[in-house]
């Protein structure tokens, strides 16, 4: 009998976005607006998710504010009993929309900040955005939402992690999530330009730890280190198909937001199946659930209950086989792939390949 009960649903309402960050967690092949689920389809997904046991809902994107029905979706999520987080760039959060979202029962807003240095911030975002984010943050604060600032860290902003934390506090954040770039999709494509040095990582870790003490009781700070510099892989959401699921803008159900890059898997769609069926029966969810799929050294490793063999997406992206151990792990010979990557000569930021949808096929 299946004992896994999911706690968290990430709803990628759209892949459309005014920002073009080169480490975007959306897949390289972005889903177009016309393929997105309808309002009613999303509502059904939220109700089914709650019935399945989901407690936390991420209303994410792309930029979810580009969905004109966001308020209606937030209201439905709240009435279904979900705790919702809006994961936004802040662009498009007008007073009118913020007030309607508050009325709808949305509880938590997460605004991304690219850097404390406004010039570098806009260079990374690929668009004018700093002023909009300040206005959005003030609204979130004024209307009494729970407020998190989230920041993706990389070589160009890691040395300012202290200033970034102070900026989040000035903006009135209750929490700040600092996470080093993960190298899948866009991030992997831009890895040489994003990758920090070991010294940068060490220093930023110290700064973050001191800030945690200084801000204790006022602002919660979480800091996710880059896994390339770790000895063991990260435990992806408690293991594949265990606690977490993602619905892509077109209704495709994924065990992880990076899962579409695993081309050996096929994914079921909420247009064709209930979420309950997908969670239990979908091949993609069953592929790496539990530990039957594991190879050595994972299979006999006592850490398999700690990190569950690490990240399947990373194993596929770097070795071409998603059933391999996560190459971050120093217990596998595959680790040499990571060690090689750490020796890559650094590229300059000018070489960023920004996140844009593929051009429309030419009409002739």
Alpha helices in 1-112 (DSSP H): 39-52, 70-80, 95-104
25: contact with another protein by CB under 8 A: no
Nearer to another protein by Cβ, of 54 and 98: the residue is 54
Question: ∠ CA 304-336-240 to the nearest 5 degrees?
Answer: 30
CB nearer to another protein: pick between 80 and 323? 80
Closer CB to another protein, residue 51 or residue 306? 51
Which contiguous run of DSSP H or E holds residue 83?
A: strand 83-88
- Residue matched to tokens 């006592």: 302
Work out the number of other CB atoms within 10 angstroms of the CB of residue 349: 16
Considering only 49-57, 244-252, 284-292, 311-319, which stretch makes contact with another protein by CB under 8 A? 49-57
Within the chain, residue ranges assigned H as helices are: 39-52, 70-80, 95-104, 118-125, 130-142, 161-170, 185-189, 191-194, 198-214, 275-281, 283-286, 304-307, 312-319, 335-342
Nearer Cβ to another protein (85/190): 85
**How remote is the C-alpha of 135 from its chain's centroid?**
23
The C-alpha angle with vertex 221 and arms to 177 and 217, in degrees rounded to 5, equals 140
Q: Is 56 in the site for another protein (CB under 8 A)?
A: yes
- By the rule CB under 8 A, 72 interacts with another protein: no
Question: Given candidates 5, 35, 231, 346, which one binds another protein under the rule CB under 8 A?
Answer: 5
Which x/- pattern, by CB under 8 A, does the window 109-148 give for another protein? Answer: -x-----------------------------------x-x
Binder among 51, 231, 306, 342 for another protein (CB under 8 A): 51
Which stretch in 81-89, 126-134, 178-186, 329-337 sits in contact with another protein by CB under 8 A?
Answer: 81-89
Which of 24, 45, 52, 101 binds another protein (CB under 8 A)? It is 52
Query: In the complex, what is the shortest distance from the CB of residue 215 to another protein, in angstroms, rounded to a whole number?
Result: 11
- Residue 107 found at the interface with another protein (CB under 8 A): yes
Residue 37 CB contacts under 8 Å (≥ 6 apart), including other chains: 45, 247, 249, 250, 251, 270, 271
Q: Is position 179 an interface residue for another protein (rule: CB under 8 A)?
A: no
Contact 121, 130 (CB under 8 A): yes
Of 174, 230, 291, 349, the one binding another protein by CB under 8 A: 174
Nearer residue to another protein within complex by CB, 148 or 195: 148
Nearer to another protein, 120 or 235 (CB): 235
Reduce the secondary structure of 218-244 to three states and give it as a string. Answer: CCEEEEECCHHHCCCCCCHHHCCCCCE
Binding residues vs another protein (CB under 8 A): 5, 7, 50-53, 55-56, 81, 83, 85, 107-108, 110, 146, 148, 174-175, 177, 217, 220
């Amino acid at each position: 009998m299946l004992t896994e009960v999911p706690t968290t649903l990430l709803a990628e309402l759209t892949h459309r976005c005014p920002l073009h960050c080169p480490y975007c967690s959306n897949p390289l092949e972005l889903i177009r607006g016309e393929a997105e689920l309808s309002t009613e389809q999303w509502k059904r997904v939220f109700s089914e998710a709650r019935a399945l046991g989901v407690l936390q809902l991420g209303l994410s994107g792309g930029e979810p504010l580009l969905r004109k029905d966001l308020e209606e979706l937030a209201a439905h999520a709240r009435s279904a009993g979900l705790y919702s987080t809006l994961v936004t760039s802040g662009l498009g959060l007008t007073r009118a929309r913020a007030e309607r979202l508050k009325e709808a029962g949305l509880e938590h807003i997460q605004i991304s900040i690219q850097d404390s240095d406004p010039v570098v911030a806009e260079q990374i975002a690929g668009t004018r955005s700093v002023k909009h984010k300040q206005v959005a943050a003030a609204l979130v604060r004024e209307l009494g939402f729970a407020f998190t600032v989230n920041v993706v860290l990389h070589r160009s902003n890691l040395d300012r992690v202290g200033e970034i934390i102070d900026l989040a506090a000035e903006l009135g954040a209750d929490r700040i999530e600092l996470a080093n770039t993960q190298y899948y999709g866009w991030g992997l494509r831009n890895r040489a330009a994003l990758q920090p040095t070991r010294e940068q990582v060490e220093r930023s870790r110290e700064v973050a730890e001191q800030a945690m003490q200084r801000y204790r009781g006022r602002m919660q700070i979480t800091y996710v280190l880059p896994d390339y510099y770790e000895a063991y892989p990260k435990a992806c959401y408690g293991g594949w198909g265990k606690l977490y699921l993602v619905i892509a803008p077109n209704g495709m159900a994924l065990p992880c937001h990076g899962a579409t890059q695993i081309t050996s898997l096929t994914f079921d769609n909420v247009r064709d199946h209930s979420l309950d069926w997908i969670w239990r029966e979908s091949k993609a969810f069953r592929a790496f659930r539990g530990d039957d799929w594991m190879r050595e050294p994972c299979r006999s490793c006592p850490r398999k209950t700690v990190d569950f063999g690490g990240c399947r997406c990373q194993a596929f992206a770097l070795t071409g086989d998603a059933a391999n151990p996560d190459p971050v792990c120093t217990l596998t010979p595959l680790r040499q792939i990571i060690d090689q990557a750490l020796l890559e000569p650094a590229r300059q930021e000018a070489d960023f390949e920004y996140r844009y949808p593929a051009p429309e096929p030419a009409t002739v």
